[in-house]
A = this chain, B = another copy of it.
Amino acid sequence: MVERIVAAAEDVVAERGYDGTSTNRVATRAGVSPGSLYQYFPDKDALITEVLDRYVTALEARISAAFPGRLGPDLSPASIRGVVSELVDALAERPALLRVLSERLPRTAGHRRVAFAQRIDNVTTTALRFRNGPDPLVPVEAVAWVVVRTVEHVAISYVLEEPDLERSMVVDELCTLVSAYLRLRAAP
């Protein structure tokens, strides 16, 4: 039941965006009565949050798996390229949901997204610390934060803006950008 509802909601959200998603429409699509919907979700927002939450979870799984050694401390160019490439692929799979997620970020499912980003921040921070050792001159938290936002949003922009640029070229440049920066931020 919950599955049917969430699946229907996913479709509707992807097709019609946040505002175009009415509880009645979801219920109809799920072949369920509007009342039933409220047996499992307190309100509309909770339902859509669930949809976006699942999306973020799936995204997390895919991206985490791309980190060699499960989010390990590897920051070599090859590893970076693998992660970035996988990230773009993952985001490109459901652009409609990505768009809704980007639009509605702070209100509902934003928490999950931010939480995920922060986890990546931590992993990156750890990796930097591991590589650099205790170096008070490099603000690793800030470095990690900037790098993670850069990769995240450039990838998202590429998927949503659909600029007239080759995917591989953009991925190359993004990797070059990140590698150049991280090389600079590694202890000498």
Interface of A is mostly: helix
Q: Which residue of B lies closest to A150 (CB)?
A: B150
Q: How far is the CA of A84 from the CA of B102 in the complex (A)?
A: 23
Closest chain B CB from A95 CB (angstroms): 10
Closest chain B CB from A115 CB (angstroms): 12
Find chain B residues with CB under 8 A from A32 CB: none
Q: How far is the CA of A149 from the CA of B152 in the complex (A)?
A: 11
Proximity string of chain A (130-142) to chain B, C-beta cutoff 8 Å, 1 when within and 0 when not: 0000000001011
15 contacts between A and B (CB under 8 A): A102-B105, A103-B103, A142-B166, A145-B165, A145-B170, A145-B173, A146-B173, A147-B177, A150-B150, A150-B153, A152-B153, A176-B184, A176-B185, A180-B184, A181-B181
- Residue positions of A touching B, CB distance < 8 A: 17, 19, 99, 102-107, 114, 139, 141-143, 145-147, 149-150, 152-154, 156-158, 160-161, 163, 165-166, 169-170, 172-174, 176-177, 180-181, 184-185
